Structure 1
Amino acid sequence: MKPRYQAILASALISLLALGPAQAQEHNNGQSVPGQADAQKDISITDISLHQPATQGQGQTELYFSLTNNSHTTHLLTGVVSPACSTLVGYHTDQENTPGTRHLFQHLALPEVTTLVFASAGYHMLCVGPVAQVLTQPNVPVTFQFLGGSSKTVSAPVTSAAR
């Protein structure tokens, strides 16, 4: 190896050693994200309902709702859960449903001063693993979780879809 290349290699190695080890920064879930601590106060959840198929075994239970962000801060929805379903996943009536669609409600931006509608003819949620005992109730709780750790629970009427 030529002395010139040896000098370059040696200086590169010395530079790397001087940098020291890289460190990962840990994010504590107990600390709020700036502007996100009370997202539930800014978000209104309306027109919510859990629709069961008219005939058992003919379709899936679906969740429809509208989300309104009343603030001048964009918020992030990080999850939706209900004891009526083992899992709630995103779904689109008229498009191919990809993993991105299924996980849509785990990272959904709620723009400032905007209403997003999730109805039967578009994006909404499917109830995977419906819990029959809970679905016999006229209303079921649905919890919306937001970045920063806040959440909001609303009561969703359980209806049978008319076909």
Structure 2
Amino acid sequence: MIKLSYDVNDYRRQISEAVNDGDCIIELGCHTGNTSKVILQNDVKLIALDNSPEASKEMDKLDLTFINADVRLHDTLSEVFKITQKCDILAIDLGGGYHPDTVFKVFYIWSSTFKPKHTFIRNRGLVEFYNSISEAKGDYKSNDGFLDSYKDSGIPPQIKEFDLWTPMLKK
């Protein structure tokens, strides 16, 4: 199941309704941990990532694995893959309202790698796109937290499109 929302309260409620004790959860864009705290109300393994300078101090106070890194980088994906090769829930909140193209690329790469049962995405641009569709042709539907057409792809190689996001990502 993939759920898309913009309101942060809806996003957190959707996640809390899906979390079960024992789940492995990857949270992309945890910032200072407000959603993480909701997730941690259950007995879970939480791997939270954010590259903002405010994140480290707050996330170090919580019982989780925190990685201060850019989720658009292949090295970051590889680092998490060394910790776990699968997750039950993938939660993505990368700025809430901005850059739907980036959010979708991150969703595609991370979900096709970790094959979550459930994915929750908070992004205004994707909600607006979804709500603006008047007709969709083709019978494509995925019932898990990743796109079914990429279920057997494994960890994807670094894609060339990463170079287009920002010059700061180039080494």
TM-score normalised by length of structure 1? 0.28
Q: Which has the higher contact order (CA 8 A, sep 6+)?
A: 1
Structure with bigger strand share is 1
Higher Cα radius of gyration:
1
TM-score using structure 2 length: 0.27
